[in-house]
Structure 1
């Protein structure tokens, strides 16, 4: 590996004055057109080079040309690159956390946790890089195929395009970039324009490695300029994480493989026997609903509590929610920082007001201050309200009593989304019934739907998307079977 490059001088904010983008492994300080705001103060924190359609086309050409070199870049060398990244992320962990805190408004404790997950994801990928294995196929199944042998290996699919959202600017990038390197796929990444800095630091570290020329590009750009990432036929796979616009991208993607993670409005069931103390259940639900300021695809949005324990759960949830601290994300005591921008805050505020006008009752939550929305808990939310039907993507949760477990499952499934669901139950039959019947990519028993470990398959059904992440499962999508048939000499 090359020696680490000297990083740009940091201002008092902890960020460099500007950041280049990376085109075909090379830093390009093309401009400083993209302003990145401190999401708490609203002030410009740094500036980032912004790519255009021409830069995206050049990156695609470079990735396409790098296919053979990346395929020939042996698994041990891919592993070494990933392990180098693990070490460098560790060395720059506090810088990465602070950048995340500033550009995303993420409370510093959550930011440090995301850096840990970034490191975990690359470490997992390093292990998987030398385990992309094939199989033998027994072809001698009849007289006509006697003497034939079959061998299957996994080969890289080719150039990939990745589009990531603002809410996990490190880990959601990691879940695309690390498997691509492990699989031997060159890629072009478009990070979210609101939170590009973390991805560009990842690009800076990748540029220190001996990845083949053209193996990666990291380019913030407008959605219009990014059209080729979806439409260019030289791209073999598009992986998109974000909103329901993903379905439109899939329609425009042509023949390429597409994987989508498009969010949810996750439900959490609390059974009559939750299998744990209510205090523990409340602690986990409060975490699941309000961590990351509620900006998580698997954050707890709908809580279905069995009538037998509803009132006690309601009292405890109301008290715990009201006690959460909202404020400056750099303050170690802050649990909820700002949502990403004023448009998001306006929408959340509007949805809460509409639900209350329709009969919902506010149990906890106060007045919005700028882009800060305090932890909010409501009950009696109409089932046709946007707050119930859609993904709120903010620090808001809805509590509702249910008469029995089957009703809770039915309410959970009464959604256009199906990413993950949580179930607190001490009844094994109920746990298995939930696994059988809940329409979601994962059912988490004994915890909230917000639980994720970075090697597990992660993805959803219905409007939540198609395909699975989790390093080994992403590698599966980024590789394809190639069969060798050998006939014995006659």
Structure 2
């Protein structure tokens, strides 16, 4: 197996030597698969200066050219689909089934960004709505903010980079990218592809490193917008040090899916099993809390157990694997601690609950305590909890009794009840007759409370990555 290298890309050049480096280790096999070269403080400064100096040049590229470049990138990624998917599986431990889907979504995200590059629309506003504006007319335009800092997580390391870089470039901005340290190899390969597609050399800079690297970027006054996907602790730190700049946060959740007494239980169980354990539950909207009407709890529990036991655990590179491993053994150890806590507090272990290295078997818990971490915090691991409820108002109340509010799901055949629940849940999105874990890349995606600020999806991200500029024409007074 050839060793791959993750490299910073600064001012049009790849950093290849003279820096500290760390090994890249596959979380599933434990093998060293690559090397990551870390950026120095001077490297970050040079990257910021390069991105800042490039603002006007990138803004001057016609929209149709930016669209062509993004669509070329999508085409190149289509040709490299299998190679990129295998690299994500190798680097992250995410099953090939999921990574092939992630590459497909990334292609779509780049295509959508290219389309939106041609839709930077404004409007004409007559002045005569005001007595003072009888002889005036205004036009609005969407203009790039300048420099976007994109800080991305490990769990969807390709598509979430595309969700930041694609809209940023579509809107005419320059970008400084800091990907997650756990998945710098795939970020490096994507950047090479973007440059091959025609991205100007200084349209994007990439630095590799940890918290201190991110903080140096966030503090810098040359940055206009910070687009961050990650956890609450890191987001609070960003907000504390960012200063006067726009901050877009796509954070976590402890997503609820409600299964009412009239639901199609077979469908609900199958979907909860599939979307609760994909990527070992390492998704912001992964099914975590399943509120089930008490009259159908026994039947649903049995059906869910049957579906979960069908999942194949194994090598992420094997095409039949449904569940690979977590991002590292520390994450697996933490998940096991939470399972142990929940059972000590009274939860019944229905299945799973065993660890093999960085892999934790898909785990189903019944009726855990409301105070246990698996209920009140974000698991970000392969655990779902079945929690009985008596009335739909109780299920709504318990769903809303959370510091998070990203997405929720609901299974019912009653339209009036579906409407009531959808409007009552304090979340950014509600999926009816589906689980919380469903997202299309052109839809507005994001949450409320500790789940974030702003919305992703190329059209919606571009709104936050541009400013409204107004030009007023005052006409001569008629003689």
Q: TM-score, normalised by structure 1?
A: 0.95
Q: Which of 262, 276, 281 is matched with 2:251 structurally? A: 262
Checking the alignment, whether the CA contact within 8 Å between 2:82 and 2:100 is kept in structure 1 is: yes
1:74-473 maps to which residues of 2 (within 5 A)? 74-244=62-232, 245-274=234-263, 277-473=264-460
Checking the alignment, whether the CA contact within 8 Å between 1:155 and 1:482 is kept in structure 2 is: yes
| 1:315-349, Cα deviation, whole Å (9 max, x unpaired) | 10112112322121111221111101111111110
Taking the aligned partners of 1:17 and 1:446, their CA distance within structure 2 comes to 43
Taking the aligned partners of 2:201 and 2:187, their CA distance within structure 1 comes to 19
Taking the aligned partners of 2:382 and 2:72, their CA distance within structure 1 comes to 37
Q: How many Å apart are 1:43 and its aligned residue?
A: 1.4
Taking the aligned partners of 1:466 and 1:17, their CA distance within structure 2 comes to 36
Checking the alignment, whether the CA contact within 8 Å between 1:402 and 1:408 is kept in structure 2 is: yes
Residue 183 of structure 2: SS of its match in structure 1?
coil
Q: How many Å apart are 1:126 and its aligned residue?
A: 0.9
Residue 150 of structure 2: SS of its match in structure 1?
strand
Q: How many Å apart are 1:222 and its aligned residue?
A: 2.2
Residue 360 of structure 2: SS of its match in structure 1?
coil
Taking the aligned partners of 1:154 and 1:16, their CA distance within structure 2 comes to 44
Taking the aligned partners of 1:251 and 1:207, their CA distance within structure 2 comes to 34
Q: List, as ranges, runs of 4+ consecutive aligned residues in structure 1 with deviation greater than 6 Å.
A: none
In the alignment, what sits opposite 1:35? 23
Taking the aligned partners of 2:193 and 2:14, their CA distance within structure 1 comes to 11
Taking the aligned partners of 1:211 and 1:337, their CA distance within structure 2 comes to 34
CA-based RMSD: 1.3
Checking the alignment, whether the CA contact within 8 Å between 1:53 and 1:226 is kept in structure 2 is: no
Taking the aligned partners of 2:373 and 2:4, their CA distance within structure 1 comes to 40
- How many residues are paired up? 475
Checking the alignment, whether the CA contact within 8 Å between 1:59 and 1:214 is kept in structure 2 is: no
Q: How many Å apart are 1:32 and its aligned residue?
A: 6.9
Q: How many Å apart are 1:489 and its aligned residue?
A: 2.5
Taking the aligned partners of 2:12 and 2:400, their CA distance within structure 1 comes to 45
1:38-57 maps to which residues of 2 (within 5 A)? 38-57=26-45
Taking the aligned partners of 1:17 and 1:449, their CA distance within structure 2 comes to 36
| 1:427-482, Cα deviation, whole Å (9 max, x unpaired) | 11111112211000101111011000000000111111111101100000000100
Taking the aligned partners of 1:404 and 1:112, their CA distance within structure 2 comes to 40
| More displaced 10-residue stretch of structure 1: 89-98 or 47-56 | 47-56
Checking the alignment, whether the CA contact within 8 Å between 2:148 and 2:226 is kept in structure 1 is: yes
Taking the aligned partners of 2:283 and 2:435, their CA distance within structure 1 comes to 13
Residue 95 of structure 1: SS of its match in structure 2?
helix
1:20 aligns to 2:7 (yes or no): yes
| 1:35-66, Cα deviation, whole Å (9 max, x unpaired) | 21111111111112221221111111111111
| More displaced 10-residue stretch of structure 1: 95-104 or 242-251 | 242-251
| More displaced 10-residue stretch of structure 1: 35-44 or 112-121 | 35-44
Checking the alignment, whether the CA contact within 8 Å between 2:112 and 2:458 is kept in structure 1 is: yes
| More displaced 10-residue stretch of structure 1: 206-215 or 338-347 | 206-215
Residue 304 of structure 1: SS of its match in structure 2?
strand
Residue 400 of structure 1: SS of its match in structure 2?
strand
Taking the aligned partners of 2:426 and 2:384, their CA distance within structure 1 comes to 20
Checking the alignment, whether the CA contact within 8 Å between 1:165 and 1:242 is kept in structure 2 is: yes
Checking the alignment, whether the CA contact within 8 Å between 1:18 and 1:32 is kept in structure 2 is: no
Taking the aligned partners of 1:228 and 1:436, their CA distance within structure 2 comes to 41
Q: TM-score, normalised by structure 2?
A: 0.97
Residue 195 of structure 1: SS of its match in structure 2?
helix
| More displaced 10-residue stretch of structure 1: 455-464 or 213-222 | 213-222
Taking the aligned partners of 1:232 and 1:363, their CA distance within structure 2 comes to 50
Q: How many Å apart are 1:402 and its aligned residue?
A: 0.8
Taking the aligned partners of 1:419 and 1:285, their CA distance within structure 2 comes to 17
Taking the aligned partners of 2:13 and 2:63, their CA distance within structure 1 comes to 23
In the alignment, what sits opposite 1:483? 470
| 1:344-380, Cα deviation, whole Å (9 max, x unpaired) | 1111100110111111110011421111100000012
| Structure 2 unaligned spans of 5+ | none
Residue 392 of structure 1: SS of its match in structure 2?
coil
Q: How many Å apart are 1:213 and its aligned residue?
A: 4.2
Taking the aligned partners of 2:98 and 2:292, their CA distance within structure 1 comes to 28
Q: How many Å apart are 1:27 and its aligned residue?
A: 2.2
